[in-house]
Amino acid sequence: GAGVSQSPSNKVTEKGKDVELRCDPISGHTALYWYRQSLGQGLEFLIYFQGNSAPDKSGLPSDRFSAERTGGSVSTLTIQRTQQEDSAVYLCASSFLTGLNSPLHFGNGTRLTVT
Amino acid sequence: DQQVKQNSPSLSVQEGRISILNCDYTNSMFDYFLWYKKYPAEGPTFLISISSIKDKNEDGRFTVFLNKSAKHLSLHIVPSQPGDSAVYFCAAAGGPSSIRNQAGTALIFGKGTTLSVSS
């Protein structure tokens, strides 16, 4: 079946503009995560949605970052007033549940470049 | 503060030898651990996992060892193959029984170790 789909695959934007990144998780997956990987860095946790629970936003680096998950499916990560340090690959992942037997399935990411 | 640490950014091994990738964690609420593998321009893919009630889990050439008292885990690949060359991420989380929230803690990743296997 289809995996996690992210769009766009690449995005170049000017500093100060807003961007929206989209994630289509695997159908039926209740957990959805956003991570980012800056150049030479590991996977930085941003936000986590699990079913109807309140999202864990503890990883969002500033109030310019926000995310929504509509209808328990598609998620949008929004970055307002982008800065050059926001340049990174933004990865979305989903899983059926959370736990040992529900590993995350990642999309191929959106490469964001802020000029 | 990093809750999951991979202190070796890179590791080079010859084909056929053992690769040992290490990971340390600080959060005592973590009760399951996973390893992911990542090739360039692709998302990470799941490799192997272990629950805190075990100290070893094996899957083919891959074995993960967990030392809870030391808050340390390692991934052993034997024999190593050139196709194993990738970035390996250690990850940890607390299960749904964690008191932090009903859904459990988020899955936290280390910074990764780049493994190069030469033929």
C-alpha Rg value of chain A to the nearest Å:
13
- B59 phi/psi in degrees, rounded to 5: -145, 95
List, in sequence order, every residue forming a beta bridge with A110; answer none if it has no partner.
A90
- Condensed to tens digits (0 to 9), the pLDDT of residues B8-61 reads 999 999 999 999 999 999 988 888 899 999 998 899 999 999 999 999 999 999
List, in sequence order, every residue forming a beta bridge with A22; answer none if it has no partner.
A7, A76
3-state secondary structure of A71: helix
- Condensed to tens digits (0 to 9), the pLDDT of residues A44-98 reads 889 989 888 888 898 999 999 999 998 878 999 999 999 999 999 999 999 887 6
Flag whether residue B83 sits within 8 Å of chain A, measured between CB atoms: no
User: Scanning the structure block, which residue is given the tokens 């029984």?
Assistant: B97
Flag whether residue B32 sits within 8 Å of chain A, measured between CB atoms: yes
The closest CB to that of B43, out of A31, A41, A107, belongs to A107
Displacement of CA A84 from its chain's centroid (Å): 18
Q: How far is A83 from chain B (nearest CA, A)?
A: 23
Number of Cβ atoms within 10 Å of the Cβ of A38: 13
Q: Confidence class of residue B100 from pLDDT cuts 50, 70 and 90?
A: very low
CB A67 within 8 A of CB A78: yes
d(CA B107, CA A105): 12
pLDDT computed for residue A1 by the predictor: 54
